[in-house]
Structure 1
Amino acid sequence: MLKARIMPREIGPEHSSAEWNYHPDLPLKNASIFQWPPSPAFLARWLAQNWLTLSERVIMVIASIGLWLLVYPPLEAAQSLSFGWIAQVWLVTFGVTFAVAGGLHWFFYMRKAQGLRLKFDKRGPAKGNRLWTFSDQVHDNMFWTLGPGVGFLTAYQVLILWALANGWAPVITFAENPVWFCLAMILLPIWSAFHFYWVHRFLHVPALYNHVHVLHHRNVNVGPWSGMSMHPVEQLLYHSTLLIHFVVPLHPIHLVFAMVYNGPGAAMTHTGYEDLLIKDKRRVALGTFYHQLHHRYYECNYGNQEMPWDRWFGTFHDGSAEATAETRDRKKKMFG
């Protein structure tokens, strides 16, 4: 899940500890937009940082508009299922995923352009361990991302485009409803975060975890290719967030945005770095320590920072030693 921008963009002091190469200020603060009592100032700052500047989300919207206008098949072509336009959707999804995950991997792990600055775990990708497909973490992650990951993400897009083209799912145009068109862009990541939390909790039921979700959790030390490295059953559940198009009137551009946000966007949040630095300023928001704690300790922080569920249901890990002890105790009770 792509994170919201909720911090100053200056680099500031860099914290480290025996467990972490880098971590933000601890304990983690409540960054949820669903705070009580509501804070108009916080909401205004969140809206401005994420939607009124050239933020990561705005860049994704611009890219989605360009992709729909330039490389996706026209909606009329999707009225009947045919190899040509389905292959075109697969090729676009594959290309965008490869470019984002591959580009981030090249920059951070091959070129090592940022070194270890803002990297949570000082270790690099694992090799020579039979835990991984092909005994290589990167090759394993690429296989599950570009195979089942791109496959399921394509299948959902094809299903929805086919339904939209035939009038079986509601569709709007910008000209008819510009206010809802723009508002839906802001709400889609919030819906995605809601969907992600509940699917993720379901995947941590011991039986499902041991046979399905464990594949993703082999990535204790994550990298860009880890974001969509999942078992096919998890791919089916995770990408089902796109089915909102069967319920809520939206435009195909919203579908492309959801594809970019939940697919290649997962590569960004699993980069292993908090932000991309350019001239000692945080220019692009990437991973969160919030989710990094989940990959390290498993039974905590199932959602993301914008949603309140982990705090409400007692599974929030704030980065403290006390929270680590509570999480390990919860894990023992769950798995025996």
Structure 2
Amino acid sequence: MDDLKFGTRNKRGDWAPSAVLDVPPFWKRPFSLPKVLAWIPEYLFPWNAFHMATTLIWWFYVVPDVEVMKTLSFGWALWLYAVNAAAIFVFYGGVELFWYVKKKQGTRFKYNAKFPAEQPSDVFWFKSQNIDNFLRSFFLSIPLWTLVQVIFLHAYATGAVPWLTWSDNWLWLVTLTLLAPAIHEVHFFCIHRLIHTPLLYKWVHSVHHNSVNPSPWSSLSMHPVEGFLYHAVALWHLVIPSNPIIAMFQLHLAGFGAVNGHIGFDKLEITEDSTLDSHAYAHYLHHKYFEVNYGGDGLIPLDKWFGYFHDGSKAGDAQMQARFEKKKARMNAKATRG
């Protein structure tokens, strides 16, 4: 497929989409019901539907019986870790294998023309981004994912929090399920902006940002503090009246959904004539420029409201540079007063 029909490539070979990022149509004025209705399938498919499918598989085939979960033990916790790790290995590893190892579509639709394996660096363990990201994911982040999972499953099993049933609360639970991606965006924006403060960035978030050119294994490559805060989004369902299935869905939106922002390709070629949109561009721009797009796809457009939004256009570049200049001026003025 000719990616230049959908974007442009610079002298370095980096590709960028022609279409700029935008917020969902229900935030726009004048309100257009046809545009909102046309957006709904995109909201549900394929990614949110995929995360719900994995949630149901976990609930019916992986999660232990309630009586087992009433007692904390390494047995069922390690079982959950093993399944989580195996699933990430297959899912993330499949993307890594086909698009980064075999390079099945070359650099078509790839934002950064280089591959991480071509860029060894001392900032990574063994000077390899892939090895570093893989080890941090499987020995730090996925155990923390599992810890959050154990916390909320044990809490529901013991009755420490209300377990709303679908038969009696179906309307609220369906609504909460549809709102789970919005909860993810708000939580992610808040903790992400927090760990970009100077001290926390230096000691915590810089680990993740070492991957300036992210790949699938970068998705969960985090400092342990960030890894826990990120997956702790599921713990909101111990505060909000909810159900463990929705808490699991919330966790899968974070765990499996992290790959979307780090895939590195705008579109994945499935066949010669069909592609799958990755929704990776907003977060790729964050990895590229560091201080833009702290949230997600703009479902809740906090970046736009707080002035951090970069839509990928030249106008977005100009707004970002203007903000950086103001920040630099404030820092210089503060240094002068000191």
Q: Percent identity?
A: 32
**1:115 matches 2:106:** yes
Query: How far off its partner does 1:217 sit?
Result: 0.6
Residues 1:227 and 1:278: Cα distance change in structure 2 (over 3 Å): same
RCO (CA 8 Å, sep 6+): is it higher in 1 or 2?
A: 1
What code does the residue aligned with 2:223 have?
H
Q: 2:104 and 2:238 mapped to 1: Cα distance?
A: 43
1:151 counterpart residue number: 143
**SS of 2:69 mapped into structure 1:** helix
Contact 2:215 2:262 in 1 (8 A): yes
Contact 1:199 1:238 in 2 (8 A): yes
**1:315 matches 2:315:** no
Query: How far off its partner does 1:224 sit?
Result: 0.3
Q: 1:268 and 1:125 mapped to 2: Cα distance?
A: 17
| Alignment match of 2:201 (pick from 201, 209, 213) | 209
**1:329 matches 2:325:** yes
1:79 counterpart residue number: 70
1:1-336 equivalent positions in 2, closer than 5 A: 12-18=5-11, 21-31=14-24, 33-51=26-44, 54-126=45-117, 127-305=119-297, 306-319=299-312, 320=314, 321-326=317-322, 328-329=324-325, 332=328
Query: How far off its partner does 1:96 sit?
Result: 1.6
Q: 1:304 and 1:19 mapped to 2: Cα distance?
A: 27
Q: 2:10 and 2:23 mapped to 1: Cα distance?
A: 22
Q: 1:334 and 1:272 mapped to 2: Cα distance?
A: 34
Contact 2:233 2:251 in 1 (8 A): no
What code does the residue aligned with 1:265 have?
G
What code does the residue aligned with 2:319 have?
A
Query: How far off its partner does 1:180 sit?
Result: 2.8
CA RMSD of aligned residues (A): 2.3
Mean CA deviation greater in 320-329 or 110-119: 320-329
Mean CA deviation greater in 153-162 or 84-93: 84-93
**SS of 2:162 mapped into structure 1:** coil
Q: 2:208 and 2:326 mapped to 1: Cα distance?
A: 20
Residues 1:90 and 1:33: Cα distance change in structure 2 (over 3 Å): farther
Q: How many residues align?
A: 325
Query: How far off its partner does 1:85 sit?
Result: 1.2
**SS of 2:291 mapped into structure 1:** coil
Residues 1:248 and 1:11: Cα distance change in structure 2 (over 3 Å): farther
**SS of 1:15 mapped into structure 2:** strand
Contact 2:25 2:36 in 1 (8 A): no
Q: Which runs of 5+ in 1 are unaligned?
A: 1-9
What code does the residue aligned with 1:309 have?
L
Q: 2:303 and 2:140 mapped to 1: Cα distance?
A: 29
TM-score (norm 2): 0.88
Q: Larger radius of gyration, structure 1 or 2? A: 2
Contact 1:20 1:121 in 2 (8 A): yes
Deviations 1:176-226 (Å, cap 9, x if unpaired)?
A: 333333222211011000110111111111111111111111111010011
Q: Which runs of 5+ in 2 are unaligned?
A: 333-338
Q: Which structure shows the bigger proportion of residues in helix conformation?
A: 2
Mean CA deviation greater in 14-23 or 179-188: 14-23
Contact 1:80 1:162 in 2 (8 A): yes
Contact 2:212 2:287 in 1 (8 A): yes
What code does the residue aligned with 1:74 have?
D
Q: 1:116 and 1:49 mapped to 2: Cα distance?
A: 25
